[in-house]
DNA sequence: ATGGTTGCTTAGCAA
């Protein structure tokens, strides 16, 4: 079983890359972020034609998450359902082939100390609260998405320049760690210990050609699922060439 | 050098 996560930076703008990618890699489940489209305009037919059903939680212009799956997705919920005012479509979860899968688009945070940064930290707290109230560390669960947090300095091309900056600040790293403390493992690090693996490169200033990247897209798994993990790869090829997202997909393979 | 690139929407925001 293959589970992938990919911030596509607009599903409609990315279809010419997403469709051949799905054909090439044939993942069973794909968590998408930044679909940037309201539900009525989601390109459903193009994906169902490839054998995927799309379960979507979108909005106009910004954010938007989805889960593509070959098997039906059941027990679907959208948002945290915690009563907090939140019109931003950033979280969807369902169950497929016996695994609970969530697609999450953690707020970027813009800059340390900004209102958006405070919202990001609060969002991470709400995500932990969702785990506490709605999930079980003993069940097979994968929390996948663009976390907009590089877990440690191995995940940053220039840790000195990025020290205490947004995506690397200790407060957001602690927010991510609180999710792991609940009972989730950064699955990539189960298989790869070295520095220098990135999943996002800024469009600006030749970020990708110069390999100025950060690893901010993650697949976090409970132990029951992590025990079945065979490998995790970041598909840099999907970041290459014309009309690429600024994020590469992360693909986990389970036995 | 407060820049630069991309997407959505169509001037300005978000990333």
Mean of all residue pLDDT scores within chain A: 98
> The CATH number of the domain where A179 resides is what?
3.60.10.10
- Statement: the CB of A110 is under 7 Å from strand B: yes
The whole-number Å distance from A133's CA to B5's C1' is 41
What pLDDT shows up at residue A8?
A: 98
The answer to whether the predicted template modeling score (pTM) of the entire model surpasses 0.75 is yes
How many CA atoms lie less than 13 Å away from A176 in the CB half-sphere? 26
Instruction: Name the DSSP class of A248.
Output: -
Asked whether residue A247, judged by its CB, lies under 7 Å from any atom of the DNA or RNA strand B, the reply is no
A119 is catalytic: no
**pLDDT level of residue A245 (50, 70, 90 thresholds):** very high
Residue-number span of the structural domain to which A248 is assigned:
2-254
The pLDDT value recorded for residue A65 is 98
Cα(A1)–Cα(A24) distance, rounded to whole angstroms?
15
CB atoms under 10 Å from CB of A55, counted, come to: 21
Average pLDDT (A134-145) is 98
Quick: pLDDT tens for A188-203.
999 999 999 999 999 9
Residue A126 has pLDDT above 80, yes or no: yes
Average pLDDT over residues A118-142: 98
A166-CA/B4-C1' distance, Å: 18
State how many domains chain A has.
Answer: 1
For residue A182, pLDDT over 90 is answered with: yes
From the list A28, A52, A105, A155, the catalytic residue is A105
Interval A125-151 mean pLDDT:
98
pLDDT of residue A85: 78
- Report the candidate in A177, A189, A178 with the shortest Cα–Cα distance to residue A226: A189
Contact A75, A3 (CB under 8 A): no
Please count the other Cβ atoms lying within 10 Å of the Cβ belonging to residue A180.
15
8 Å CB contact between A121 and A78 = no
A157 classed as catalytic: no
Say yes or no to pLDDT of A86 above 90.
Answer: no
Q: What is the mean pLDDT of residues A151-155?
A: 98
* Nucleic strand B within 7 A of Cβ A12: yes
**Strand B–CB A240 distance below 7 A:** no
| The predicted structure's pLDDT at residue A87 | 87
What Å value separates CA A107 and C1' B15? 10
Catalytic member of A28, A75, A115, A146 = A146
């Amino acid at each position: 079983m293959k589970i992938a996560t990919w911030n596509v930076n607009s599903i409609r703008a990315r279809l010419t890359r997403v469709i051949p990618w799905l054909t090439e890699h044939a993942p069973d489940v794909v968590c998408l972020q930044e679909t940037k489209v309201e539900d009525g305009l989601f390109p459903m037919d193009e994906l169902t034609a490839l054998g995927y059903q799309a379960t979507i939680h979108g909005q106009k212009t910004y954010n938007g998450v989805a889960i593509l799956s070959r098997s039906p997705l059941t027990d679907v919920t959208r948002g945290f359902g915690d009563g907090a005012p939140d019109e931003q479509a950033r979280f969807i979860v369902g169950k497929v082939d016996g695994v609970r899968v969530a697609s999450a688009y953690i707020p970027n945070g813009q800059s340390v100390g900004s209102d958006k940064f405070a919202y990001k930290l609060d969002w991470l707290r709400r995500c932990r609260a969702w785990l506490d109230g709605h999930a079980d560390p003993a069940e097979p669960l994968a929390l996948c998405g663009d976390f907009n947090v590089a877990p440690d300095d191995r995940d940053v091309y220039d840790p000195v320049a990025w020290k205490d900056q947004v995506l690397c600040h200790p407060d957001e790293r602690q927010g991510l760690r609180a999710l792991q403390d609940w009972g989730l493992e950064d699955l990539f690090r189960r298989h790869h210990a070295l520095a220098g693996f990135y999943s996002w490169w800024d469009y600006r200033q030749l970020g990708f050609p110069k390999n100025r990247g950060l690893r901010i897209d993650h697949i976090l798994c409970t132990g029951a699922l992590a025990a079945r993990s065979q490998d995790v790869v970041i598909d840099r090829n999907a970041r290459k060439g014309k009309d690429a997202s600024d994020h590469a997909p992360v693909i986990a393979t389970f036995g």
